[in-house]
Amino acid sequence: MIKLAIYGKGGIGKSTTASNLAAAFALRGLKVMQIGCDPKADSTAYLHSGKNTETVLDIIRKKGKSAELSELVTEGYMGVLCVEAGGPTPGKGCAGRGIIAAMEMLEEKNAFEIFKPDIVIYDVLGDVVCGGFAMPIREGYAEKVFVITSGENMAIHAAANIAEAVAGFSDRGYASLGGIILNKKNVDREEEKVKELAHDINSEIIGILPFSSTVQKADELQKTVLEAFPESEMADCYKALSERILEACKKEEVKEGGEGCD
């Protein structure tokens, strides 16, 4: 089983990327599970045509330990298994605790042994890397961490912090950094700045996603690009990125992505 985590600053497009990667992996014949670790609980919405699913935390609040696994895990586009950890009531509690509770419940219900996914994707908010948000890195849930960034200064700053956290945990045998995904916003010196980041954190750019109106159109339809526009160039970009990520998960060294979708 391949276990990977996708981190990035809020609003950088990590959930869109994660869902499209999940669809791309599924199209390759892999059984995929995507676990949303963001309190907004919208990671897997586009795999359900825009419908938010009930979160693990909400189900625990209502049913406690008696909750059935079938309630915690739903099936989305291409059979992708979808889980949303959820979060506390706004203004109350710690969002990271929601992730911890969800992971513990999935383990207690033997979710991974029962569903036997080939690949698990953790979609994690990366503005802060502490508490429950660090669980995919530090508790053996993920083996590789991929950081999404654009050339925007705040996104690069967040990516650097995430990489630092991963490096700290990797010394203890936890997840290691798989590489950087550049999700372009067409800002000045974008590729140059992200290449500088990759050099500074001793990593590589494994894929470049161009700024595309196709993604925006799919967003309006509340679907993944691979479902809404399967023959588009952008769909091919996500497929190519999925191949590079599989390579990165299977090898110690990753291959740097070229210009655009090449």
Residues 91-124 pLDDT 10s: 666 666 778 888 889 999 999 999 999 999 999 8
The band of 160, judged by pLDDT with boundaries at 50, 70 and 90, is very high
Cα 134 to Cα 35, 40, 256: the distances in Å are: 14, 17, 26
* Active-site residue, from 42, 58, 118, 127: 127
Chain mean position to CA 203: 18
Is the pLDDT at 17 greater than 70, yes or no? Answer: yes
Domain boundaries in the chain? 2-250
Nearest to 27 by CA among 77, 75, 74, 73: 77
Helix H or strand E encompassing 146? strand 144-149
Residue 40 among the catalytic residues: yes
Catalytic-residue membership of 236: no
Q: Which residue has the higher pLDDT, 81 or 260?
A: 81
Whether the predicted pLDDT of 141 surpasses 70? yes
Block residue for tokens 């994690």? 124
Strand 176-183, strand 205-209: pairing: parallel
Q: Three-class SS of residue 121?
A: strand
Q: How many residues does the chain have?
A: 262
What are the backbone dihedrals phi and psi of residue 156, each rounded to the nearest 5 degrees, phi first?
Answer: -65, -40
Residue 9 among the catalytic residues: yes
- Of 14, 109, 144, 193, catalytic: 14
CB neighbour class for 123 (10 Å; exposed up to 12, middle 13-18, buried from 19): buried
* Cβ atoms 13, 148 nearer than 8 A: yes
pLDDT mean across residues, the chain:
88
Band (169; pLDDT cuts 50, 70, 90): confident
Query: Is 262 designated active site?
Result: no
Global confidence as pTM: 0.91
Q: What is the per-residue pLDDT for 86? A: 85
Q: Crossing angle of helices 153-170/190-200, nearest 10°?
A: 20
Q: For residues 141 and 1, give the distance between their C-alpha atoms in angstroms, rounded to a whole number.
A: 11
Contact criterion met (CB below 8 Å) for 171 and 31: no
**pLDDT class of 254 with cuts at 50, 70, 90:** very low
CATH topology of domain 2-250: Rossmann fold (3.40.50)
- CA 210/CA 24 separation, integer angstroms: 17
Q: Tokens in use for 233?
A: 């160039």
Q: Residue 256: which pLDDT band, with cuts at 50, 70 and 90?
A: very low
